[in-house]
Amino acid sequence: MGRRIVCLVVLLVMAFPCWTLRSEEVSESTRLMETIGTPYPPQESYSYPDGGAIAIDLAMGRPLGFAAMVLGAGLALIAMPFALASHTTGPVYERLVVEPYMFTVCRPLGEF
């Protein structure tokens, strides 16, 4: 019985995380920024990609990017002896390992 209650509480906390983030108190720095303005420049407007671009990226872009990561890492291992001899390990690593990783993992979903 006790285990069920613990599981229920954990599920409720996980399902409604905004309950723990909600605060009615406003900090002094927030009040100050509302009265005199923020010292930071205004943010540029960002337009989010549409659902179709996100779906295509999720269905095709990310799997192809992952395949490029695996293939690039394998090719980098094969090319490393030659790159060491010609002192070009940096560009080989950048093109075959870093760029596929950045494309697959680091860019926002739906942006190509």
pLDDT for residue 22: 45
Count: domains in the chain: 1
User: Does residue 9 sit within a domain?
Assistant: no
User: Does residue 86 sit within a domain?
Assistant: yes
User: Does residue 12 sit within a domain?
Assistant: no
Domain extent, residue 61, equals 49-112
More confident residue, 17 or 73: 73
User: Does residue 24 sit within a domain?
Assistant: no
User: Does residue 11 sit within a domain?
Assistant: no
User: Does residue 41 sit within a domain?
Assistant: no
CA distance 7 to 5: 5
In 3D, which of 45, 43, 25, 26 has the Cα closest to residue 35?
Answer: 26
Write out pLDDT tens, residues 44-98. 777 888 999 999 999 999 999 999 999 999 999 999 999 999 999 999 999 999 9
Write out pLDDT tens, residues 19-28. 444 445 656 6
State which of 14-18, 25-29, 35-39, 47-51 shows the largest mean pLDDT: 47-51
**Phi and psi based region of residue 100 (left: phi greater than 0; alpha: psi -120 to 50; beta: remaining):** alpha
* Statement: residue 7 has pLDDT above 70: no
pLDDT for residue 18: 47
User: Does residue 61 sit within a domain?
Assistant: yes
Q: What is the mean pLDDT of residues 23-50?
A: 66
Instruction: Kindly state the DSSP code that residue 101 receives in the 8-state scheme.
Output: H
User: Does residue 91 sit within a domain?
Assistant: yes
From the number of C-beta atoms within 10 Å of its C-beta (0-12, 13-18, 19+), residue 44 rates as: exposed
Nearest-10 Cα torsion for 19, 22, 23, 27: 150
Is pTM beyond 0.85? Reply is no
Q: Rounded to the nearest 5 degrees, what angle is found at the Cα of 13, between the Cα atoms of 7 and 16? A: 135
In 3D, which of 58, 42, 43, 45 has the Cα closest to residue 108?
Answer: 58
More confident residue, 105 or 2: 105
